[in-house]
Amino acid sequence: MEAGNLLGFIPLNQPPQRLCVHSRRLSSFLSFVTVKASISSQGGSGYRGPKPRREWIADWVSKNDDFVRSLPIYVGGLSLLAVLFNRTVSGIAPVSNASSSQSRADLLTLGLAVTNILNGLVWLSIRPKTISVVNPNGVECQRVASNLPDFVTSELLWAWDSLSAVTCCRSLVIVYDGKCILQIGFAAASSSNGSDAVAVDTNKMIEGSLYQGVLKSASQSYLANLSLYPGKSQLPFLPSNTQAVILQPLADKGIAIIGGDTIRGFTSSDQAWITLIGEKLDATLTKVI
Per-residue pLDDT of the chain (289 residues), as tens digits, is 444 444 444 444 444 444 444 454 445 544 544 544 444 444 444 545 555 566 788 888 778 888 888 999 999 999 989 888 887 887 766 665 656 777 778 888 888 999 999 999 998 888 877 788 999 999 999 999 999 999 999 999 999 999 999 999 999 999 999 999 999 999 999 888 778 999 999 999 999 999 999 999 999 999 999 999 988 999 999 999 999 999 999 999 999 999 999 999 999 999 999 999 999 999 999 998 8
Helical H segments across the chain, by residue range: 2-9, 17-43, 56-63, 65-90, 101-125, 150-166, 202-206, 209-217, 268-288
- Count CB atoms within 10 A of the CB of residue 83: 18
Identity of the residue numbered 262: T
Q: Identify the helix (H) or strand (E) that includes residue 173.
A: strand 169-176
Q: Helix (H, G, I), strand (E, B), or coil: what is residue 250?
A: strand
pTM of the entire predicted model = 0.62
